[in-house]
Amino acid sequence: MPNSAKKAAVLEVIGVTKQFRGKIAVDCVDLQVANGEFLSILGPSGCGKTTLLRLIGGLEKPDRGRLVLNGQDITNLSAHKRNVHTVFQRYALFPHMNVFDNVAFGLRCKKIHENETRSRVEEMLELANLKGQGHRAIHTLSGGEQQRIALVRALVNLPKLLLLDEPLGALDLKLRLQLQQELVAIQKRVKTTFVFVTHDQQEALNMSDRVAVMNQAKVEQIGTPNEIYEFPKTLFAASFVGGINRLDGVLRIDEGGRCICEVEGLGGFFVEPPTEYRQAGVKGLICLRPEKVTLFSRRPSTIENVVEGTIRSQSYLGTHTQFEVLIKNGGVISVFQQNTQKLAKKVFQVNDKVFMGWQASLSHFFSYQALK
Ligand SMILES: Nc1ncnc2c1ncn2[C@@H]1O[C@H](COP(=O)(O)OP(=O)(O)O)[C@@H](O)[C@H]1O
Ligand SMILES: [Mg+2]
């Protein structure tokens, strides 16, 4: 956690657990969200993301644990008293009201003076890039415009915390990418703290200050997008946020004290496991991202780890080429090679014998023990 999160946590989730009919949906989750932070909760369908958001918003009550907002214990506070708003995937705009009245709704419920309502709504319409378009009917808005109105309709209430449950999930890819940028720009402007739920790893990496990776009701890792991708703490975190190759084996320590993972049928590869697993006999797996592997036509002499193989397939994707390489133990290694040169011909052909190399520090070793 960055120092900023420690200093000014707007939200603290402390040991929060929720079961539904004996099935755990959220399991002892601890989370701190800093003031003005964009935190994403990333995980597969059914891992408990929505339930966690509903617990924070007060729509569910935890079985155990506490929630603290701005220093105040809100565990038993009802949803409408929390100063927390939620934006859902289905925009839930009122179809019979125009844009202006949709955005003004929350303020009118609170009996805010009409002059102030007008100026705050105008400000929000500008933020949503729909200045002067308050008269439009909801059905005349595009999907992206509707989602921006849903967002500012929540922001107009000046929530301490905005919760967003897969708000871009219903949009097509191009619009989704565009709205990712717009949403972050709006968040940086208003400086409201966002807790954003998604099952899309690219979206989480692209938008967030920090990402909490959730799996089977638990938060497995919290970190910056870079930490999550480059230094995953668990095999799940590694495989959910990107592609991986895995090589299973057993550790030994060489004369120089370095750790080697012996893989049956392939030989030994240098690894750098966490200290507690740096022992001979520890069983586990090497995890290696496809873009960290380099292809060579001759065996390289300066790279720590090299494995030989035969190209089974290659796909040219413009920015990079994706290779599937068959190795001696029957496994396949995926390699992404950046197309840094403008070549008219393929450098490698299917059935070519190649060497794949990587430095130990670019791989991860997870012991089976840690996976239990
Ligand atoms: N109201 C509920 N009653 C019973 N089970 C529920 C309820 N809400 C969620 N669950 C269960 O809790 C688990 C987590 O669900 P959810 O939080 O919706 O996951 P996600 O949003 O990550 O897809 C799922 O197994 C789901 O079926
Ligand atoms: Mg959900």
pLDDT tens per residue across span 168-218: 887 888 889 999 999 999 999 999 999 999 999 999 999 999 999 999 999
Say yes or no to pLDDT of 357 above 60.
yes
Q: How far apart are CA 348 and CA 73, in angstroms?
A: 62
pLDDT of residue 171: 82
**Once rounded to an integer, what is the mean pLDDT over residues 240-255?**
96
Structure tokens at 253: 């320590």
Q: Which residue has the tokens 């949503």?
A: 128
CATH superfamily of 245-371: Nucleic acid-binding proteins (2.40.50.140)
pLDDT of residue 73: 96
Residue 195: predicted pLDDT: 98
Q: Which one-letter DSSP state was computed for residue 361?
A: G
d(CA 128, CA 150): 9
- Kindly report whether the global pTM for this prediction surpasses the value 0.85: yes
Q: What is the pLDDT of residue 165?
A: 94
Q: Read off the pLDDT band of 282 (50, 70, 90).
A: very high
- Cα(212)–Cα(230) distance, integer angstroms: 15
Tell me which DSSP letter residue 342 carries.
Answer: -
Which pLDDT does position 372 carry in this prediction? 66
Predicted local distance difference test score (pLDDT) of residue 7: 56
* Tokens (6 digits) for 55: 């617990």
- Other beta carbons less than 10 A from residue 297's beta carbon: 11
**pLDDT at residue 226 in the model:** 97
* Atom 16, ligand 1: residue with shortest CA distance: 48
pLDDT band at 3 (very low <50, low <70, confident <90, very high): very low
Q: Which of 29, 40, 42, 50 to mutate to test the pocket of ligand 1 (most atoms within 8 A of CB)?
A: 50
Percent of the chain at pLDDT exceeding 70: 98
Going by C-alpha positions, the residue among 366, 186, 346 that lies closest to residue 273 is 366
Answer whether residue 341 shows pLDDT above 90.
Answer: no
Nearest ligand to the CA of 41 is: 1
Measured CA to CA, the distance from residue 102 to residue 149 in angstroms comes to: 8
Q: Which of 16, 20, 56 to mutate to test the pocket of ligand 1 (most atoms within 8 A of CB)?
A: 20
Q: Which two tokens stand for residue 163?
A: 């919760």
Ligand closest in space to the Cα of 164: 2
pLDDT at position 5: 46
Strand partners, 67: 13
Q: Is the CB of 54 under 6 A from ligand 1?
A: no
Q: What percent of the chain stands above pLDDT 90?
A: 86
Where along the chain do its domains lie? 3-240, 245-371
* Cβ-based burial of 94 (10 A; exposed 0-12, middle 13-18, buried ≥19): exposed
Q: pLDDT, tens digit, for every residue of 321-330?
A: 999 999 999 9
With a 6 A CB cut-off, is 55 part of the ligand 1 pocket?
no
pLDDT in tens, 108-129: 998 999 999 999 999 999 999 9
Q: For 3-240, which CATH superfamily applies?
A: P-loop containing nucleotide triphosphate hydrolases (3.40.50.300)
Atom of ligand 1 nearest to the CA of 165: 21
| pLDDT over 80 (residue 304) | yes
Neighbours of 241 (CB within 10 A): 22
Does 49 contact ligand 1 (Cβ within 6 A)? yes
The mean pLDDT of 79-94, rounded to a whole number, is 86
Kindly give the distance from the C-alpha atom of residue 165 to the centroid of ligand 2, in angstroms, as a whole number: 7
Residue 250 pLDDT exceeds 60: yes
Rounded Cα gap, residues 261 and 77, in angstroms? 53
Given a cut of 70, whether residue 91 has pLDDT beyond it is no
67 CA → ligand 1 middle, Å: 20
